[in-house]
Amino acid sequence: VVGKLNAREVFDLIVDRAWNNGEPGIIFIDRINEDNPTPWLGEIEATNPCGEQPLLPYEACNLGSINLALMLNDKNEFDWDKLDQTVFKAVHFLDNVVEVNNYPLPAIDKMTRSTRKIGLGVMGWADALIKMGIPYNSQEAVDLAEKVMQHVNDAAEQASMRLAQVRGIYPALHECPDVSNYPNIRNAARTTIAPTGTLSIIADCSSGVEPLFAVAFERWQADMRMKDVNPVFREMMEEEGIEVTDEMIDRIMKVGTIAHMDDIPERIRKVFTTAHDVQPEWHVKMQAAFQKYTNNAVSKTVNLPHDATKADVEQVYWLAYKLGCKGVTLYRDGSREEQVLSTGASYKKDEPKTATLEAMPPQDGVPSLQVQQAVIPRKRPDTTTGFTDRIKIGCGKLYVTVNYDEQGVCEVFTNTGRAGGCPSQSEATARLVSLALRAGIDVKAIVGQLKGIRCPSTIGKGLGCTSCPDAIGRLIERVSKQIDAKSISLDEKGVVYDQVEVTPIGATEPEFVQGQGKCPECGKPVEHESGCVTCRNCGYSKCG
């Protein structure tokens, strides 16, 4: 029937995709609207990217987090008075942010000041539990989570009501047709639990309400791998008089957990429960405990081992719904080619593989999906070597980079010059070509599809190419031919092949690109700045 989908088939497809690479997450939009603090302004249709902040059109995120590990007293018990004082200051601060912020659009300015929503949350939860000697995957931890978040939520509401007495209620409340059912409060919503990825790194604490990802792990930062060891683990080991050596760190990093290490005291092993030590149901129970006393939503990831099944994914979704969560995301270890945090035990994909998609049986007259053989591209190599051509196209200049590794041509990058062009189309072509190359598709077949494609902007200009795809295909072909002729060595890295001459397309200036420190688009030096990689020559930015 036109306009209708089979619910079971859609759900199965969501489960399949989440199992495959962690996307999409799932939200329960009806439940979110049940808690909509301003229903007279409209229904909520979406959340921010991490799922914790349901918002109306043109509302803005305004988030802050309290480090719970710093809310303990010298007996490692919660100092409730200190937590109250911190919440009051945080609510005051976030309300100030709404007032002094410069908004990019008048509509955002108007809507954000009208509802004045803030999102005060927490982080350092795993660190706090460790200091208190409570395992993350325990009922004691879940019960304490409810108590802590109820305290934060109540204190945030009181703080916002006090602000309303001085500064006034949020303006949208004046429009409410049944204002007697709503408190006189400064902020329509007060609490949210965000992932706090960057914040927790700055604060040197565990992120959000997650368990520790690992006691020691590698972190990708600005194209570099850095070793990271939990600071509370170091502190507790020092209390035991045990040095945390590089050798110990390397052993921990192989699996991420310390549960198997007999040279670490049992009391420490007991509380340093990592994400993969925690069964999926405990992940969901913890999220539900915090959600119970959170105005908005909770960002939380259920970590699954690589061998988890699609049935495991489905069970996580159903349990999240039954326990009152507003949504849930999950990630199966190793299901993506690259992941920001990893341990030595993380599953890695090195070579192209084939995966069979399960056939779905017909339901309610809907034809079943056909069984397909899917080719999974091999992992992108850490280091590649290649060439960049600057090519004249109908609307300016196009920089095309073709890289290769020990198996041959493996990827393509493009970037347009300052005069403009079609950057999204040429980038899309380059990405798809790169996937095809690493999936083992014949180079000649790819070139045959690209060469000869025509663009109206090149007509009558006497250029050396007929379009952006044509230029990409021509450079791939030239590099591939030189590889076949053994003019380029595939087994030597870090060598500048000055003797190799690549015939330019039209009046181009070929430049050699290799290793790190060179722009993948134009070959010029790049700069590491503010956690990103940028090129001042052509404007390339790895962060977009």
Which residues have a catalytic role annotated? Answer: 48, 50, 52
Cα atoms in the Cβ-side hemisphere of radius 13 Å centred on 392: 12
> What's 300's DSSP letter?
-
CA distances from 305 to 21, 183, 259, 329, 336 (A): 12, 45, 16, 14, 13
Distances (CA, A) of 132 to 27, 126, 214, 274, 284: 33, 10, 19, 16, 22
Dist CA 137 CA 55 (whole Å)? 32
User: Is 396:420 a contact under the CB 8 Å cutoff?
Assistant: yes
**Residue 198 vs residues 65, 117, 124, 276: alpha-carbon distances, Å:** 11, 22, 13, 22
Task: Tell me the residue type at 415.
Answer: N
Q: Which residues contact 335 (CB under 8 A, 6 or more apart)?
A: 19, 20, 21, 22, 306, 347
State phi, psi for 318 to the nearest 5 degrees. Answer: -65, -40
Structure tokens at 514: 């290799």
**Cβ 121 vs Cβ 63: under 8 Å:** yes
Helix, strand and coil percent figures for the chain, each rounded to 5: 40, 20, 45
Chain position carrying tokens 């790169």: 434
d(CA 355, CA 276): 25
Sign of CA dihedral 527, 530, 536, 542: positive
Q: State the Cα torsion 311-140-343-261 to the nearest 10°.
A: -120
Task: Enter the tokens of residue 464.
Answer: 């050396």
Angle at 474 between CA 468 and CA 475, to 5 degrees: 95
